[in-house]
Amino acid sequence: MPRIVYVLPDGTRREVDAAAGTSVMKNAVLNDVPGITAECGGSLMCATCHVYVDPADAGRFPPRADDEEEMLEVTEAEVRETSRLSCQLTVDDTLDGITVHVPEEDA
Amino acid sequence: MTRVVVVGAGHGGVATAQALRAAGSTAHVTLVSAEDEPPYERPPLSKDVLLGKASMDSVRLRAAGWYDDNGVDLLLGTRVAAIDREARAVHLDGGAPLPYDALVLATGGRPRPLPCPGSGLAGVCSLLTSEHCRDLRSRLAGARDVVIVGAGFIGLEVASAAVALGLRPVVLELVDRVLARGAAAEVSRAVASYHLSRGVDLRLGTGVRQLLGTEERVTGVVTSTGEVLPADLVLVGVGSSPNDGLAAEAGLHCQDGVVVDAGLRTTDPRISAIGDCARFPLGHGLVRLESVQNAVDQGKHVAARLAGTVRADAPYLAVPWFWSNQGGLRFQAVGVAEGSDHEVVRGDPEAGRFSVFRFRRDRLVCVDSVNDAAGHRTGRRLLANRAHPTLDQVADPSVDLRTVGRAPG
Ligand SMILES: Cc1cc2nc3c(=O)[nH]c(=O)nc-3n(C[C@H](O)[C@H](O)[C@H](O)COP(=O)(O)OP(=O)(O)OC[C@H]3O[C@@H](n4cnc5c(N)ncnc54)[C@H](O)[C@@H]3O)c2cc1C
Ligand code: FES
């Protein structure tokens, strides 16, 4: 079971055991990681599942698809090179310990 | 301690409870749900769950333990029967009164039945709840002749699912285009041709006169043109009505929805209404929207007001948006089309990738996109910034709309 580490804006770390084949978004919602609303449930329609992949893990996920690129521009928080929509990030056993940062929530 | 009672644990009700806790509210929160199923997302019911690609457990709004962990009393399988405004309590079906200091109505809507003979036959389905979805899924698995009444979002999503299951559904639509209520005419054309290309038998301008049956089971549909179509499964997707009966019986102002003010309060300031059941001020009039975004953002607004993180008189101002997945087709809309009088297409409708920018009195009010995340993104930016592109700017593909500035005033 791959572990996902969510780092909250205040620095708190939340570790979650994820089932292979599930998304970083889904695991956040089901484990009540704050700041990932995921209103569209993973359909790449809402951009409320924005995270920053830890620089150390950059390159472990396949690159953004075009639609993800466009929808990222809808997010409230600043878009960085490491920005991803977490519903598009599927974990498997090779991604154990992957670390993502949750953006500061918009006021 | 303040007692907040939320009626309905769909997208809006759960978002309210969640936002109250996220704002640090220590109010006593009770979520009352008429459904037995723990709270879940509705959109997958006509998409991945209907196709069996996702389980109900994978579409929960919160983890099972969230309610307990956050001190939210979740009463499943419990219907609120009446509101006693004088006593400030709701009456539960067969239970003790539940007192409140603040009451939030998030009761959603219910599918409209077909107003014709035979609509009560077995095999005539609608789609709102997980129970409906289970029923529809098992019937689709054994169906041969599927007729879908209504080419709205739910009708067309179910048609896509039926096609994916190897069926060739007939879709009947009373007016002369699909998605007539929600989308621009150019979008209707593109969506219709997509479904036709996938083998959907789409009949525009065709209504239903009667449903036929033997031994209480549906066997056919008589259309408004007199044709008899064989049917062992009929899905009715002709819109929904708001669940505003509780509010109306309690003397709150209702008008096809619970009427609320700019802060989402009903005519009783202790009672708010959100989501599909509410009619609220937006743009130039009162509207009722049926979308996840609307239910969630309104829930968040009411929670913020109750938790004191926004002023009591703060208006709800979110720009509405909506999406629909129909097989490989992605539809997204932002803004409110009501009253729009001019449309400009950007992109390539022939290639099935474009957006329609809709104006009302020269002001951009809505953007509908088909397979065009970039167009949707642009529309969201423009509307959120109250930017004011001209018709000419939108019509000129060389203008980068992201650079268009804010409207004066
Ligand atoms: C099949 C389907 C597909 C959809 N797809 C999309 C989509 O792709 N995109 C999108 O944006 N929107 C979609 N929608 C619309 C979206 O799901 C709704 O707009 C949203 O659920 C509204 O949330 P709500 O909280 O207002 O009401 P609901 O989610 O409907 O919840 C209302 C709840 O209140 C309960 N209730 C009612 N009366 C009482 C009572 N007296 N006592 C106790 N409980 C009560 C009901 O049982 C229900 O559980 C879809 C809807 C359906 C049915
Ligand atoms: S959950 Fe909506 S875009 Fe990721």
Mean pLDDT of all residues in chain B? 95
Residues in chain A: 107
Q: Is the pLDDT at A106 greater than 60, yes or no?
A: no
Interface of B with A (CB under 8 A): 22, 41, 43-44, 58-60, 62-63, 66, 69, 292-293, 296, 321, 323, 325, 330, 332, 373-374, 376-377, 380-381
Q: What 8-state DSSP symbol labels residue B7? A: E
Q: A with B: how many residue pairs have Cβ under 8 Å apart?
A: 50
E strands of B100-232, at which residues? Answer: 102-105, 109-111, 124-125, 146-149, 170-173, 201-204, 208-214, 217-223, 228-230
3-state helix, strand, coil in chain A (%, to 5): 20, 20, 55
Tens digits of per-residue pLDDT, A15-35? 999 989 999 999 999 888 988
DSSP letters spanning B214-225: ETTEEEEEEETT
Helices B153-164 and B185-197 cross at an angle (nearest 10°) of 20
Question: Is B83:B271 a contact under the CB 8 Å cutoff?
Answer: yes
Question: Which residue carries 């009591």 as its tokens?
Answer: B312
Is B41 in Cβ contact with A41 (below 8 Å)? Answer: yes
Q: Is the pLDDT at B293 greater than 60, yes or no?
A: yes
Looking at residue B407, its pLDDT comes to: 53
The whole-angstrom separation of Cα B293 and Cα B275 is 9
Q: Which of B322, B364, B321 is nearest to B339 (CA)?
A: B364
Radius of gyration of chain B (CA): 22
> Whole-model pTM?
0.96
Tokens of B403: 């650079």
Question: Is B156:B191 a contact under the CB 8 Å cutoff?
Answer: yes
Shortest-distance Cα residue to atom 3 of ligand 2: A44
Hey, what's the torsion of the CAs at B161, A87, B376, B284, to 10 degrees? 90
CATH number of A3-106: 3.10.20.30
Q: Which of B357, B346, B361, B409 is nearest to B383 (CA)?
A: B357
Tens digits of per-residue pLDDT, B67-110? 999 999 999 999 999 999 999 999 999 788 999 999 999 999 99
Looking at residue B329, its pLDDT comes to: 96
Roughly how many angstroms between the first and final C-alpha of chain A, as a whole number? Answer: 35
B409 pLDDT band, cuts 50/70/90, is very low
